[in-house]
Amino acid sequence: MSNEDDDLARAIALSLEESQRNKQPALVNLDSDEDEDTEEARFQAELQEAIRVSQAAAEKNPRPTAQKSTAGSSTQPSQPGKSSDQPTGPVSSFLSERAKLEKERLERQKRLRPPSPVAAAESTTEGESDEEEPPAKRHKVSSSNVSHTRSNIHGISSSSASTSAIPTAEQLFWQGELRQTATRNAEPRKDGQPTFRLTDVLGKTSELAFAIMSSYALDFPWIYQFFEPSVPVIMVAQPDASGEATIKNVLPNWIRTTPFLRGGFGCQHMKFMLSVWLQDIPLRSKPIPHDPNPKLDDFAAVLQRMLDKINVKPALAAMIKDNVNSLAYLPLKSIEELRQKWDWTNVKVHLVASIAGKHEGWDKVIQTGHPRLLAAVRKMGMRTGRSQSAKDVVLECQGSSLGLYTTQWLNEFHYSARGESAEDWLDGPKKAREKLPLPSVKIVFPTKATVQKSALGEQGGGTIFCRRKQWSGKNFPRHNFYDSKSKAGPVLMHSKMIIAMLKENNNKFTAKKHQPSDSEDDEIEVVEPGVGWAYVGSHNFTPSAWGTLSGNAFNPILNISNYEVGVVFLLKDAGEADRVACFQRPPKKYSQTDEPWMQEESVHHKQ
């Protein structure tokens, strides 16, 4: 590892640690339509300053030149699941410094507040702690030698275990499971449901062979401590202000990759690894041939396309090229191997991703944003129909950030949520679309009173965003707002979830019978009827996250600002809807005096 790379790694750790020590929590809206690149700009500025200080110190106190080797790897080839007890050279310097800083940080945390479990990003959170508790005993045991990939949403993490035996204490989720994350001030949860912690997701870290992760806001020293130094990691992150796609070695065996954003506007908002939906994918007994068919639409095929779009594919290729010897054991040599080597048969949820950019033509539009949700709804057999007797669908949309809603966009999204063709939507007169009434959408967002009554009060509302100019807009759908209250206890939520329930014309919720599709291309996979569906992931209920349609029925155009990802799955009955929801159902409608929480008007958050 070169001196420059060592300085960069140390600078990241020192910069982030210093910002944690000397600054109040950054009051940046990580999800808003306007300020989504502020945090990254601050990070880059601090990083450059830390590098400058580090270089100045190096000039004052020069050290012996380290033996040059491949950037991003240790000076000696690593072995899977193993790390040297006494690393040498620049890597040793960085790790020693990081360990020292981490010890000091933990000691400060203990003085400031009692230990508590980490609350994962985009989950039921309030006042997250940086400390982890040991994973609880796990109930599904595998006694055979197994290699598996672990998929987590808000996104997907390819966290592939080595071929050594899975320990008898490890819990595996072969059918997939949805849980909220453990949250300070609500553990155990008021509703008694089990939770996930980061340690549950990772399992026995000594057996991890490779990980792909993603987040908008990053703390490299914090996340680095959860992995063995020899484990290669690809981290998908927010681009800088230029919006250019980049691939960079940032830590030993760690690559930071960023996807392209037009003009630097928008947000890489996908969350991998820290999640609420988790499924273990078993290794196939024998790899299947690669199928290059671009129309493949199963979970693995959609996942591969998504990883390609967010710059993981070239990052993986770069990691292998630059570390041919030390990473020879890497269990994934190409993105295509995900579908070839692992068996995705038991995955019943549908992957829905938003890819930032302009998408033109049906073949591209249907693969992303709310048209992709439309396709998933049809696959589940949840299409409502267009006739007079057709069912309606009532949406309950929980999020942590509000968009600039128009009646037209709400109807556009609702059309896709019903499984009705975007072609029909675009085929109608534009002026008629603008005059449609508000659809059956409940926007679930906490009132100011709910925030004030929560465990941490207004100080805990720093990651929930609504602006006065939004709320006061002439046509803003204020009558569609419902209070957000966590089922876990008196805490706030940063979760993004949609509960969609089918409704007959007589206003009674009921199971939907299958109806024939008007297109032979519409595949319906569900066998038993359901009463609705649920979405969980990184998408806030905003046009930036889900996209906005334009163009015409012959040549549609979908513009999306953010990179997002989540899963959609069938709800078999109303009881299941109540169980999976992170918020109390039915949500309570705002009174005439209620207003949403606006952190910009709180004395605790004014800068």
Average pLDDT over residues 160-168: 35
Say which DSSP state 513 is in.
P
With residue 536 as reference, give the H or E element that holds it.
Answer: strand 532-537
Average pLDDT over residues 502-529: 51
Helix, strand, coil abundance in the chain, percent, nearest 5: 30, 20, 50
Q: Which of 208-217, 233-242, 533-542 has the highest mean pLDDT?
A: 533-542
Q: Quick check: helix, strand or coil at residue 89?
A: helix
Query: What are 5's two structure tokens?
Result: 């790379």
pLDDT at 331: 87
pLDDT tens per residue across span 552-589: 999 999 999 999 999 999 999 999 999 999 999 999 99
pLDDT tens per residue across span 68-85: 222 222 222 233 333 333
pTM of the model: 0.72
Query: What are 335's two structure tokens?
Result: 């993105």
Which range, of 82-91, 279-288, 386-395, averages the lowest pLDDT? 82-91
Q: Quick check: helix, strand or coil at residue 497?
A: strand
Which among 90, 54, 87 has a CA at the least distance from the CA of 69?
90
Residue 225 buriedness (CB in 10 A; 0-12 / 13-18 / 19+): middle
β-bridge pairing 441-444 and 392-398:
parallel
Q: Which of 43-47, 120-124, 151-155, 284-288 has the highest mean pLDDT?
A: 284-288
> Would you put residue 54 in left (φ > 0), alpha (ψ -120 to 50) or beta?
alpha
The answer to whether the Cα torsion of 517, 522, 528, 534 is positive or negative is negative
Output the 3-class SS for 37-58. CHHHHHHHHHHHHHHHHHHHHH
Q: Return d(Cα 557, Cα 385) in angstroms, integer.
A: 24
* CATH topology classification for 350-601: Endonuclease; Chain A (3.30.870)
Task: Express as a percent the part of the chain with pLDDT over 70.
Answer: 66
Cα dihedral 492/497/503/508 (nearest 10): -30
| Alpha-carbon radius of gyration of the chain | 24
Q: Return d(Cα 521, Cα 498) in angstroms, integer.
A: 26
- The answer on pLDDT for 283 being more than 90 is yes
Q: Return d(Cα 176, Cα 168) in angstroms, integer.
A: 19
Q: Return d(Cα 206, Cα 43) in angstroms, integer.
A: 30
Which segments of the chain belong to CATH 3.30.870.10?
350-601
Q: Return d(Cα 227, Cα 232) in angstroms, integer.
A: 9
Average pLDDT over residues 475-490: 96
> Would you put residue 470 in left (φ > 0), alpha (ψ -120 to 50) or beta?
alpha
pLDDT tens per residue across span 237-256: 999 999 999 999 888 889 99
Mean pLDDT estimate for the chain: 75
pLDDT at 415: 94
Single-letter amino acid, residue 453? K
CB 136 within 8 A of CB 170: no
CB 199 within 8 A of CB 135: yes
Which range, of 68-82, 170-184, 436-450, 591-605, averages the lowest pLDDT? 68-82
pLDDT tens per residue across span 216-242: 888 888 899 999 988 999 999 999 999
Average pLDDT over residues 360-374: 96
Helices (H), ranges, 359-399: 362-365, 369-379
Which range, of 121-135, 258-272, 304-318, 580-594, averages the lowest pLDDT? 121-135
Q: Return d(Cα 371, Cα 583) in angstroms, integer.
A: 26
pLDDT band for position 103 (cuts 50, 70, 90): low
Is 496 one of the annotated binding-site residues? Answer: yes
CB 401 within 8 A of CB 462: no
With residue 546 as reference, give the H or E element that holds it.
Answer: helix 543-546
- The answer on pLDDT for 378 being more than 60 is yes
Active site residues: 269, 494
- The answer on pLDDT for 141 being more than 70 is no
Q: Return d(Cα 605, Cα 29) in angstroms, integer.
A: 12
pLDDT tens per residue across span 14-42: 444 544 444 433 333 434 444 434 444 44
Which residues on adjacent β-strands are paired with residue 124?
Answer: none
State residue 511 phi and psi, 5-degree precision: -70, 145
